[in-house]
């Protein structure tokens, strides 16, 4: 459908982000989540989070190199900071600008920005996973490994930085949606294998994107669960309404069982429509035959 809908907070009967210890995912599942969220028209938000995270990691490496933080006075200190210089860095979220600390004597360039490290990928994974589940120990470990020992930044410092990003992401996830109405809501699901307890099951990362009355697209939220379950969709829509989602006239998605009923219950007077792109993809074989016989098109 080209549009990815991000559903907001994870209800308790679905997979709440703070219960992520009960659910683990393989690397391919995480990549599927990243792709879904990157397609959800929240690029600027995630790009800023990556910029902020990179900047904090750069400052931490500079502190480890110099032996003192910004404006910190220490005995026997021989190297001092001398402002910053801008540098554009290409990341998975696009080009971003960070500030590289300058030294009064000598030079400094953060090892974490060396091309072979691709630290942005590990940081991107931390941020995307945090949006869905909360920051995990595994993602922090992966980030520490990507930085390497050359950076000289302790795991506890990386964990502190990630915890700060987690708070920023939580604020974004739970933000109020009362600033405007969203007549159109697109919902899309990306399926991946996850381990819940001793079992590996197929779950859906559901992403909901709203189109406001002035045509602006906005990521509304995300949830992980059974996309065929009415209860899943009901709780998901309830969580969006609790944050102020209003003015919904049309919900567009695949034909998920339970979604139509949940939409009718939670958004009285609104309609549901199957995504035209998916409808065309599913029916393309029969269309080619009907057209060959002079048949007409099919409206989604």
- CB 224 within 8 Å of CB 60: no
Cα separation, 10 vs 224, in Å, equals 7
The answer on pLDDT for 85 being more than 90 is yes
CATH C-level class of 184-290: alpha beta
Q: Domain locations in the chain?
A: 24-173, 184-290
| The token pair that represents 120 in the structure block | 């942005």
Q: Rg (Cα) of the chain, in Å, rounded?
A: 23
- CB 40 within 8 Å of CB 4: yes
pLDDT (0 to 100) of residue 179: 94
Choose the weakest-confidence range: 93-107, 245-259, 280-294: 280-294
pLDDT (0 to 100) of residue 72: 54
Neighbours of 270 (CB within 10 A): 16
The answer on pLDDT for 150 being more than 80 is no
Q: Are strands 94-103 and 217-225 parallel, antiparallel or unpaired?
A: unpaired
Nearest to 253 by CA among 230, 232, 285, 277: 277
Q: What are phi and psi of 19, to 5 degrees?
A: -110, 25
Mean pLDDT, residues 113-142: 81
Q: What are phi and psi of 39, to 5 degrees?
A: -90, 5
- pLDDT per position as a tens digit, 198-221: 777 777 888 899 999 998 888 999
Mean pLDDT, residues 28-42: 54
User: How many residues in total does the chain contain?
Assistant: 300
- Structure confidence at residue 33 as a pLDDT band (50, 70, 90): low
90 DSSP β-pair partners? 95
The answer on pLDDT for 3 being more than 50 is no
- Rounded to the nearest integer, the mean pLDDT of the chain is 76
- pLDDT per position as a tens digit, 96-126: 999 999 988 888 899 888 876 668 788 888 8
Q: How open is the CA angle 169-173-175, to the nearest 5 degrees?
A: 110
Nearest to 224 by CA among 190, 257, 197, 258: 190
| The token pair that represents 25 in the structure block | 């995912």
The answer on pLDDT for 279 being more than 70 is no
pLDDT (0 to 100) of residue 181: 96
Alpha carbon of 220 to those of 87, 131, 259: distances in Å?
Answer: 32, 12, 17
Mean pLDDT, residues 20-40: 50
The answer on pLDDT for 196 being more than 80 is no
Alpha carbon of 62 to those of 66, 115, 117, 160: distances in Å?
Answer: 6, 18, 17, 16
């Amino acid at each position: 459908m080209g549009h990815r809908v991000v559903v907001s907070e994870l209800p308790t009967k679905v997979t709440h982000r703070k219960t992520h210890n009960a659910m683990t995912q393989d690397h391919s599942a995480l990549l599927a989540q990243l792709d879904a969220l990157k397609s959800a028209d929240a690029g600027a938000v995630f790009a800023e989070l990556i910029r902020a995270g990179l900047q904090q990691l750069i400052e931490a490496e500079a502190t480890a190199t110099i032996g003192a933080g910004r404006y910190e006075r220490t005995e026997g200190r021989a190297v001092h900071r001398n402002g910053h210089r801008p540098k554009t860095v290409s990341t998975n979220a696009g080009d971003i600008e960070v500030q590289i600390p300058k030294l009064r004597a000598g030079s400094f360039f953060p090892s974490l920005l060396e091309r072979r490290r691709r630290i942005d990928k590990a940081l991107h994974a931390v941020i995307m996973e945090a949006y869905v589940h909360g920051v995990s120990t595994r993602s922090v470990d992966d980030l520490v490994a990507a930085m390497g020992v050359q950076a000289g930044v302790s795991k506890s410092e990386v964990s502190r930085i990630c915890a700060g990003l987690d708070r920023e992401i939580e604020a974004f996830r739970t933000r109020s949606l009362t600033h405007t109405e969203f007549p159109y809501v697109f919902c899309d699901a990306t399926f991946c294998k996850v381990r819940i307890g001793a079992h590996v099951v197929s779950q859906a990362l559901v992403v909901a994107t709203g189109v406001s009355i002035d045509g602006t697209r906005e990521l509304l939220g995300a949830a992980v669960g059974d996309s065929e379950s009415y209860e899943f969709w009901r709780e998901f829509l309830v969580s969006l309404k609790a944050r102020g989602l209003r003015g919904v006239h049309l919900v567009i998605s695949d034909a998920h069982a339970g979604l139509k009923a949940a939409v009718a219950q939670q958004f009285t007077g609104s309609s549901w429509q199957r995504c035209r792109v998916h409808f065309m993809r599913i029916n393309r074989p029969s269309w080619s035959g009907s057209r060959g016989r002079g048949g007409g098109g099919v409206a989604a």
